[in-house]
Amino acid sequence: MNVQALHKISYGMYILTSGKDNKFNGQIANAVIQATSDPATILVCVNHENLTHEFIESSKVFTLSILSEDAPMTLIGTFGFKCGRDIDKFKDIKFRTGRNGAPIVLDSTAAFLECEMVKQMDIGSHTMFLGKVIDGDILSDKTPMTYAYYHTIKGGKAPKNAPHYIGVEE
């Protein structure tokens, strides 16, 4: 099997956030799907080892900040390649707390969706969280970043905890 075929699946680029005990964390996510429209629900896959996973499991809420194409690699690097157990990812980031208590990233964000967890399902290395959308808004008219754009235009890579990581990227 040519595992590179998996990279042809279309994705977006998001910062997934949650909170626990008055602390926030976030990570880059691309395995995100709108599951239904009535009620509006979102599926997101998160690695069991990620701090964001722990926060979502505990708080039962998450927010997706939809990144725009102008998002700098430093922002993606902070949320995608650094651990919230080691650094405060929100230290130099513009954000506000949303209705569900999770942070909404304002830097390089086209829109956001706030969710309350409805269900979760263990799928091996990851958990699939299903959330009911309780709020959302458009923050700019900028073009949302796709995962293909991240790879081909920005030269981005996938970390080992990414749902689609296939052992050929760093």
- For position 6, what pLDDT does the model report? 72
Domain ranges (residues) in the chain: 3-152
Least confident of 47-61, 99-113, 124-138, 139-153: 139-153
Segment 129-155, tens digit of pLDDT? 999 999 999 999 999 999 889 888 888
CATH topology for the 3-152 domain: Pnp Oxidase; Chain A (2.30.110)
3-state SS record for the chain: CCHHHHHHCCCECEEEEEEECCEEEEEEECCEEEEEECCEEEEEEEECCCHHHHHHHHHCEEEEEEEECCCCHHHHHHHHHCCCCCCCCCCCCCEEECCCCCEEECCCEEEEEEEEEEEEEECCCEEEEEEEEEEEEECCCCCECEHHHHHHCCCCCCCCCCCCCCCCCC
* The model scores a pTM over 0.85: yes
pLDDT at 99 over 70: yes
Segment 65-84, tens digit of pLDDT? 999 999 999 999 999 989 99
